[in-house]
A = this chain, B = another copy of it.
Amino acid sequence: MPEEKRMELEPIGIVRTEAFGKEVRARGHSSEVVLSKDLTGALDGLDDFSHIFVIFWMHKIYEPKRRTIKVNPRGRRDLPLVGIFATRTPYHPNPIGLTLVELLGVEDNVLTVLGLDAFDGTPVLDIKPFDHWDMVDNVQVPDWWKRLEKERSERGQTSLSGPAGRSKKQGTVEN
């Protein structure tokens, strides 16, 4: 690694949600992203987007876990042990969370979003609108991934593109 200046982050805001424990991961709840008031103008025009990435600092990760090299996906021993970078485990060297959420609304410095798997009190680092470059087809994933996907579908859970999504336009924002 080359010599670098220190890479230090500053929070731009914080997550507020009533979800806790497993609810947070299930992603069926809405959350607020409360930004610093001085960043209110930086949100102008964001509400023309239906989906945004929220980048956050997973502040609850026990630091030695950041040295993890391999995991069983979702902690399941019946799935193959793979490298942490081949999964979305939170145990990566830098505890940066990345979640695509549906944007339900923006009011002043507060965003309301659906599907953010971040705990109450999580520092927020960045907001990025969903871009055409983020859309791909012909996506290929491992067999263990397909198996998880199949199980999820059998449980009737839907993704953001399913019927739970796009509630904004029907005016059914829950708050």
Q: Which residues from chain A sit less than 8 Å from chain B, CB to CB?
A: 1-2, 4-14, 27, 36, 39, 41-46, 48-51, 53, 55, 57, 59, 69-70, 80-88, 92-94, 96, 98-100, 102, 115, 121, 123, 125-143, 145, 149, 159-161, 165-166
Contact = CB atoms under 8 A, between A and B. Distances in A.
B6 A8 contact: yes
Interface centre among A81, A99, A128, A139 (most CB of B within 10 A): A139
A61 to B, nearest CB: 12
A101 to B, nearest CB: 9
A127 to B, nearest CB: 4
Contacts of A59: 4-5
A99 B132 CA distance: 11
A35 B70 CA distance: 16
A114 to B, nearest CB: 11
A154 B91 CA distance: 43
Which 3 A-B pairs give the minimum distances between C-beta atoms? A45-B82, A48-B142, A50-B140
Contacts of A140: 48-51
B70 A42 contact: yes
A11 B1 contact: yes
A125 B139 contact: no
8 contacts: A9-B94, A9-B96, A10-B94, A27-B133, A46-B82, A49-B140, A50-B141, A132-B159
